Structure 1
Amino acid sequence: MLLTIGDVVRIRADKELGSVAGVAAHRAAGSVVDVQMNGRVLRTVRPQEFESSPRGFRPMIKARALIRLLFIGLGFGAAVMNGMYVHGLGASLAVTVFVTVTSVTTVSGGLINLFNRPRRFRV
């Protein structure tokens, strides 16, 4: 199960809702999750004792959209440079197109995943 700090979870035993405040690993007990309940009360529960609620998507803000556009532009720039370099080495048109498309997806997707992803923990 992947969790992010702030995810909303429901404890199965008493049907209470809370948000994930932290994750800890113990030798004897395995992984435990700190859940913040109403009134700033922290409860420590095991991952088998709760279920996570569906994750809602926040609307994209302008700053994040501009960052994503910048990363796609950097991907296209790197792809053009790689394509020109491979073509200059004497590669065929098919290899040049393959390298260019692969470069766009790798560079832009890698940058987007590196900087715009939620931090999740495996429990």
Structure 2
Amino acid sequence: MYLAIGDVVRDRTDMELGTVIGRVPGGCVALPMSGGAARLIAPYDLALVARRKPSTSTVSGVVDPVVLLVGLLAAYISGNSVQVLGGSWLLMFFASTGAFSFVVALYGWIIRLAGPRRFRV
């Protein structure tokens, strides 16, 4: 099972919910307790309830539309280039779709690689 800091897990021994706050070198996962202490639980006693959803930042709110516009620009340039070279409408459609998909997929991979790391327990 892969966990990241902030994932919600359930302890199977007493059915208590908690968010992952860390991992110790022995393989145990740390869950917070009241009073600021941490409780260590073995991985086989955990059940994943929910993954941490990264919050949307203001930078993401600006970058997302910019990437969309860059994708549309790439689609227009590739489709126009095919049309100028004498390609059919089907080839123009596939070139435009491919260029747009490439830009959006590249952005998705960058976001995934820069996201929170998961560790195996």
TM-score normalised to the size of structure 2? 0.68
1:92-111 map, 5 Å: 92-111=88-107
Q: Distance in 1 between matches of 2:85 and 2:30?
A: 56
Structure 1 unaligned runs (5+)? none
1:14-53 map, 5 Å: 14-23=14-23, 31-53=27-49
- The answer on 1:114 being equivalent to 2:100 is no
CA drift at 1:100: 0.9
CA gap 1:87/1:46 in 2 versus in 1, 3 angstroms: farther
The 3-state SS of whatever aligns with 2:9 is strand
The equivalent residue for 2:5 is 5
CA drift at 1:99: 1.8
CA gap 1:87/1:18 in 2 versus in 1, 3 angstroms: same
CA drift at 1:92: 3.1
The 3-state SS of whatever aligns with 1:18 is strand
TM-score normalised to the size of structure 1? 0.67
Identity %: 27
Aligned-pair Cα RMSD in Å: 3.2
Identify which range, 2-11 or 47-56, moves more after superposition.
47-56
Q: Distance in 1 between matches of 2:86 and 2:2?
A: 46
Please tell me the residue identity of whatever aligns with 1:119: P
The equivalent residue for 2:78 is 82
